[in-house]
Amino acid sequence: MSALYWLSFGVFWSIALWTDMKYRKIPNWLTGAFAVSGLLMHVVLFSWEGIPAAASGMLIGLAITLPFYLCRAVGAGDVKLFMAAGAWTGAWYALLLWCYTILLAGCIGIIWLLWEERRSRRLRECGMRLLLLAGTRDRTWLYGWSRRPPVKMPLMLAAAPGAVLLFWLHPIS
């Protein structure tokens, strides 16, 4: 069970990483197949009692990613992928997977921002704005900030090592 679980989850996660890095999208056929196979895996392993575990994992996957989607921090494919991962892992592991992903995304995001001069300039500017914000009550300088295009990175760049970290620190028995 363990080897098949790791292999199946790893195949889906690797395809999601590849498509997110190459096309900046996670296709519906992948997230759908991932979710259905997670539900089926729970039914095969735990009979009908496995469905509530898979459903609660999907619900947690949706609940923790939807606010980020509404703020445009992640895409719809990321939301569906974490729902599908919840179907595979259950609620607790879906929550841990998201926590590791967010921690790694923050670290990778800083490196991503420093990678190019344009991004490096933006990070320095952001730091200056935070310093100014701490020392002034005048907020007029903030208005130009929201018109800049966002710097985006594929979430799977953090989610892939997040899954490895999750299963290394918390092996599923």
Does 153 have pLDDT greater than 80?
Answer: yes
> 87 lies in which domain range?
2-169
Two tokens, residue 98: 């998201």
Q: Is the pLDDT of residue 3 over 90?
A: no
What confidence score (pLDDT) does residue 71 get? 87
- Comparing CA positions, the residue from 56, 44, 62, 41 lying closest to residue 92 is 56
More confident residue, 42 or 128: 42
Q: Are 80 and 124 in contact (CB under 8 A)?
A: no
Distance (Å, whole) CA 39 – CA 86: 10
pLDDT (average), residues 131-157? 65
Q: What is the pTM of this model?
A: 0.79
Q: Are 172 and 93 in contact (CB under 8 A)?
A: yes
Residues contacting residue 56 through CB under 8 Å, at least 6 positions apart:
86, 90, 91
Dihedral sign, CA of 131, 134, 136, 137?
A: positive
- For all residues of the chain together, what is the average pLDDT? 86
Q: 9 pLDDT exceeds 70?
A: yes
- pLDDT category at 16 given cuts 50, 70, 90 is very high
Q: Does the pLDDT at position 150 exceed 70?
A: no
Per-residue model confidence as pLDDT tens digits over 62-108: 999 999 999 888 999 999 999 999 999 999 999 999 999 999 999 99
How many CA atoms are closer than 13 Å to the CA of 162, on its beta-carbon side? 25
- Distance separating alpha carbons of residues 113 and 105, to the nearest angstrom: 12
CA atoms in the 13 A half-sphere facing the CB of 7: 4
Lowest mean pLDDT among 32-41, 47-56, 79-88, 108-117: 108-117
DSSP conformation class of 150: P
Could you give the number of structural domains in the chain? 1
Residue matched to tokens 């190459």: 22
